Structure 1
Amino acid sequence: MTSAPDDQRPDLPALRDAISSGDPVRAMPALTQLRFCSDEEAVPLLVLGTAQKPFLVRSLSCSGLGYKRTEQGWQVLSRLLVDDEDSNVRAEAANALASYGVERSWPLLRSAFEADDAWLVRCSILSALAEQPEIDLNWLLDLATLAIKDGDGTVRVSGAEILGRVVRDGADQPLGDQARALLQPLQQDVDHRVVASALNGLQVS
């Protein structure tokens, strides 16, 4: 945990005042100062930030809750992932939830991916989970199968990239063959980026 020398310790009442103002010019620098606070000090103020009107303040607050992890933060992020009106905030909530561990976050993120059709949210979920080295390849195959059916090319690209990883990491397993079979039709995708990702994935030996 990062901490500041005593003479540089943040003034918590001043930070609370700045964050609760809802003014991004005041609130966002205050939120960044919370990295010098303990989790117990920072999380209530980050939660306060998630209740402010400007989406930039809510988004940065969600990001902070991915570093300052407590049960209160988890509960708030879980709600924002589903309920926030702004896709930027939902995407940051997804990233932050993944930092609590793939075993715990998987059910929430899998459900959100299926329910939320915003490309930014879906790409954030794909990226956050694909970065987890310990994730079950079956889970990645499941998620990628959904992603390659998306109407947005960027989401399909991410899905194709994940299939390529499953082909590589699951080469000696049946799911490696399943991933390869899903990549084959993507060579005819209307988006050239998807085609390129599919070809890359199929070239894995």
Structure 2
Amino acid sequence: MPEFSSLPDPSALRAAISSGDPTRAMPALAGLREFPEDQTEAVVVPLLILGSEQEAFLVRSLSCSGLGVRRSEAGWAVLCRLLREDEDANVRAEAANALASYGVARSWPLLRDSFSADHAWLVRCSILAALAEQPAMEPGWLMALAREAIADADGTVRVGGTEILGRLVREQGGAATDAPVITAEARSLLQRLQQDGDHRVVAAALNGLQS
């Protein structure tokens, strides 16, 4: 771990991040990785929050990613706001991914609501990817997510939902008390999805049924 004296100057990083020039801001944000954990609250998080307020969406997106790594209550609040309010789907998608890193139990209600409200395919795919393989996801939560995903007009989102159904079949509903019901519904939906107009969805459904 580097000595604090060898770290970048926080004042210089702040100037670069707030410069309005992504070619300066992006390397400055990347440089925050050099700071040790004990500098997270004092140095790293405030600068990441500053980045989340910049005009360039790439700068905001990278800042979201950083707030998912250097987790804090202040970062959580910023990510929640960006997920709800940012005008760019790239930023909302990165915020969703970062929020998932705070743990499924905490992030699931927020991400579930966002999945229902935000129909940008990029945001929805980010939520699916962030949650689909999480061991802590309850089978009932996965089924709720899959039902919405396979009803989406975008084929890529439907593929993500179909893959979740495959997981439910593969894991036989896990330890859920209604596991047989969940598994049966997942299998039924996969059979129906074999008639989907997108060949990627059909392939994912066939793969899921072979689990």
Q: Using structure 1 for the length normalisation, give the TM-score.
A: 0.96
Percent of aligned positions with the same letter in both sequences? Answer: 67
Distance 1:131 1:65 in 2: 21
Instruction: Give the alignment of 1:1-205 within 5 angstroms.
Output: 3-37=1-35, 38-40=39-41, 41-170=43-172, 173-174=179-180, 175-204=182-211
Distance 1:73 1:197 in 2: 36
Contact 2:18/2:50 (CA < 8 Å) preserved in 1? yes
Distance 2:173 2:83 in 1: 34
Q: Which moved more, 1:128-137 or 1:9-18?
A: 128-137
Secondary structure of 2:69 counterpart? coil
Query: How far 1:171 sits from its partner (Å)?
Result: 5.3
Distance 1:102 1:86 in 2: 24
Secondary structure of 1:135 counterpart? coil
Contact 1:149/1:156 (CA < 8 Å) preserved in 2? yes
Q: Which amino acid aligns with 1:39?
A: T
Contact 1:91/1:120 (CA < 8 Å) preserved in 2? yes
Distance 2:70 2:90 in 1: 20
Gap regions ≥5 residues in structure 2: none
Distance 2:4 2:64 in 1: 27
Distance 1:81 1:30 in 2: 23
What CA deviation, in whole Å up to 9, does each residue of 1:18-76 have, x standing for no partner? 00112110000000111122211101100000100000000000000000100000000
- Taking only aligned residues, the RMSD between alpha carbons, in angstroms, comes to 1.1
Contact 1:119/1:155 (CA < 8 Å) preserved in 2? yes
Distance 1:44 1:171, change over 3 A: closer
Runs of 4+ in 1 over 6 A off after TM superposition: none
Query: How far 1:184 sits from its partner (Å)?
Result: 1.1
Query: How far 1:138 sits from its partner (Å)?
Result: 1.0
Q: Which moved more, 1:24-33 or 1:172-181?
A: 172-181
Secondary structure of 2:48 counterpart? helix
Distance 1:193 1:8 in 2: 50
Secondary structure of 2:194 counterpart? helix
Q: Which amino acid aligns with 1:115?
A: A
Query: How far 1:4 sits from its partner (Å)?
Result: 2.2
Distance 2:146 2:183 in 1: 13
Contact 1:144/1:160 (CA < 8 Å) preserved in 2? yes
Contact 1:137/1:170 (CA < 8 Å) preserved in 2? no
Kindly tell me the number of residue pairs found equivalent between the two proteins: 202
Q: Which moved more, 1:145-154 or 1:134-143?
A: 134-143
Distance 1:177 1:5 in 2: 57
